[in-house]
Amino acid sequence: MKQLIQIGCLTLLTLLLTGCGQTVSQITKGELYPRVYSHQPKSILVLPARNTTTSVDATDHFRYTITRPLAEQGYYVFPVHLVDAFLKAENITDPEIVRQIPVKKLKEIFDADAVLYVDINTWDTGYTVFSSNVDVGLSFSLVDTKTGEEIWQNNAYAYSYQGLNGNNSLAGLIVSAIVTAANTGTDYTALAYTANHVGSKQLPQGFYGRSYQKDVEERIAILDSAKLEDGRLYVDEYFISGVKKEGKVPLTVRQYQKGYFAFPVNNLNFFQHNGYSNYYVTQEINGKKFLRNRFFQYENGFPYLLANGKKVFVFTETDGTIPHSEENGKYYFQIERIVDLKNQPKS
């Protein structure tokens, strides 16, 4: 499964790169997630996921498939069934109440180095005459228990798709072959694992991983989600208005016959999907609520996009919304500050 997912990512990345003129930022994990390397957490406590969707089963599917991906990244993960049993014994069963427990208190109880908050913000099922799909969206936030600082954040998106394939192109056959070999039908547990796996994949290796503190220079190729030009950060119209109803279903959906696929939401092309248009989600982290845009990555609470090998932080309103401007049909965000990753001091 893991190899198939990676092959699928590489295949789609190749297709996208050859099909458009979008630039690529080659950055290292140390540049992208410096706080993980400076805090060096060894153990992670995963709190019950906060489920804002209408699916009552989503929480269990994601909670019981998160341990393995994190363990594969080299972290000790507190057994979720033991954590749940403790919380139940303390009459704390509501995830909303669990979210209000300060991380310092969780540190006293479990002695965990970090706490992982997971928000399930999308679980939508769609049907047509010839196909069906399940779209899911996740937001991850890793908080250091000593300082209460958010040291890593990521968004992930996954979907299952079953139906007729109306495209017999070479690209369609390649992608269909990948997912057909991995899946024979919709399996919510497998879909949840896929989303958790991809969502945590970019997390730097933990103390028990073979590449602990060695992957700081590991380079990641990420398609830029914006264009830096004339002191503005330009984005595609999809950032503002989503996929138009009369528009075509994006490649990432049309090419599938059966199966599920997931990817981190850190570039525009992978994010374009007709079932994921609600861009803002309210996250409650360490007892505080934040309104966040799922297009953006966040560092220490501030949103940014990658462009030309730089982290471009944008202006936000006090409520967390990110205002945009339009000029001659082009959409852009106001820039707050720019961090040139090539010149960034090593942590």
- What CATH number is associated with residue 262? 3.40.50.10610
pLDDT of residue 26: 80
**Residue spans of the chain under pLDDT 50:** 1-20, 164-185, 245-258, 260, 263, 267-276, 345-347
pLDDT of residue 236: 78
Question: 86-122 in b/e burial notation, b at 16+ Cβ within 10 A?
Answer: ebeeeeeeebeebbebebeebbeebebbbbbbbbbbb
Please say whether the dihedral angle defined by the alpha carbons of residues 139, 143, 149 and 152, taken in this order, is positive or negative: negative
Domain with 13 in it: 2-343
pLDDT of residue 128: 55
pLDDT of residue 46: 95
Query: Comparing C-alpha atoms, which of 8, 7, 14 is closest to residue 221?
Result: 14
Supply 273's token pair.
Answer: 């999907």
pLDDT of residue 346: 47
pLDDT of residue 226: 84
Query: Comparing C-alpha atoms, which of 313, 307, 342 is closest to residue 217?
Result: 342
Distance CA 243, CA 332 (A): 18
Number of structural domains in the chain? 1
pLDDT of residue 130: 53
pLDDT of residue 255: 31
C-alpha separations of 44 from 129, 200, 234 in Å: 44, 12, 37
Q: Is 261 helix (H, G, I), strand (E, B) or coil?
A: strand
pLDDT of residue 278: 61
